[in-house]
Amino acid sequence: NKGAAFFGSFGGNIVATVKDLGDNPSASDLIGGVKVMLDAYDEGKIDRLYVVANEFVNTMTQKPVVEQLLPLQPSEDDKLQHHWDYLYEPDAKELLDGLLVRYIESQVYQGVVENKACEQAARMIAMKSATDNAGDLINELQLLYNKARQAAITQELSEIVSGAAAV
């Protein structure tokens, strides 16, 4: 919801959103949204398709990434390493269309899963920080309690000694 609202505020064309995926999203939960996006691309309603997600680097590092899915970007090395003549059945276009749909679905799913991993890592770090802060607070309060207790004991001993000296 927040992502769609953010891009909508900048005039982005939001053609599909998927909500409430839970803690264990599956690829099948995303197929409907991906189909809507691909249909919008095929119909010319959108000219580009991006995935904006967090990339999970490690527990302490997550970085935002914007990846263009459609139209496909040429690879860095445009030269074919090997050129083989194959016969594709069904035809090559039908095969590539099917592979493209699976590729887009997998990239969207990867973005969702990495976002979940980043969210869990951020929660884990926040909980560790809260635990550490609570431990520090406990130590400070323990020290304060011990000082107050020591002052009370010293006061009582002083009163006993001065009472004994007065007798």
CA distances 9 to 14, 47, 115, 142, 165, Å, are: 11, 19, 22, 51, 82
CATH placement of domain 2-74+88-166: 3.40.1380.10
DSSP assignment of 118-167 equals HHHHHHHHHHHHHHHHHHHHHHHHHHHHHHHHHHHHHHHHHHHHHHHHH-
Domains in the chain: boundaries: 2-74+88-166
22-69 pLDDT, tens digit per residue, is 888 888 888 888 999 999 999 999 899 999 899 999 999 999 999 999
Does pTM surpass 0.85? no
